[in-house]
């Protein structure tokens, strides 16, 4: 159980707050491609906003909560404090 939780948390951090990798695009790339490349830290200002936004893109409630909850540590410097994520409140930066 602990290993699964750690793996999920680690995956969420990578998913949510990995630095953007430079990619080359063809001249016909869609205008909203920049939005797709942004990470959860830059895309949202709060965890609850992240959950709602991820659900709007097709994630289930559980998937969105997992993705955004795992991003809390990485997004600590950019998201509004205290960070409220679902029913959890982080008054201090969580230990990683």
pLDDT higher than threshold 50 for residue 26: no
Q: Which two tokens stand for residue 38?
A: 């942004």
Distance of alpha carbon 33 from the chain centroid:
17
| pTM score, whole prediction | 0.62
Cα–Cα distance for residue pair 89/50, rounded to 1 Å = 15
pLDDT higher than threshold 70 for residue 27: no
Measure the N-to-C terminal CA separation of the chain; round to a whole number of Å. Answer: 18
List pLDDT tens digits, range 57-85. Answer: 999 999 999 999 999 999 999 999 999 99
Domain boundaries, the chain: 1-16+44-96
């Amino acid at each position: 159980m602990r290993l699964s939780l750690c793996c999920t948390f680690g995956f969420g951090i990578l998913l949510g707050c990995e630095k953007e990798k430079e990619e080359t695009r063809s001249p016909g790339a869609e205008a909203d491609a920049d939005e797709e490349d942004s990470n959860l830290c830059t895309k949202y200002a709060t965890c609850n906003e992240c959950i709602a936004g991820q659900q709007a893109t097709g994630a289930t409630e559980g998937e969105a909560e997992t993705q955004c909850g795992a991003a809390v540590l990485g997004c600590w410097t950019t998201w509004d404090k205290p960070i409220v994520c679902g029913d959890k409140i982080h008054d201090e930066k969580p230990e990683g």
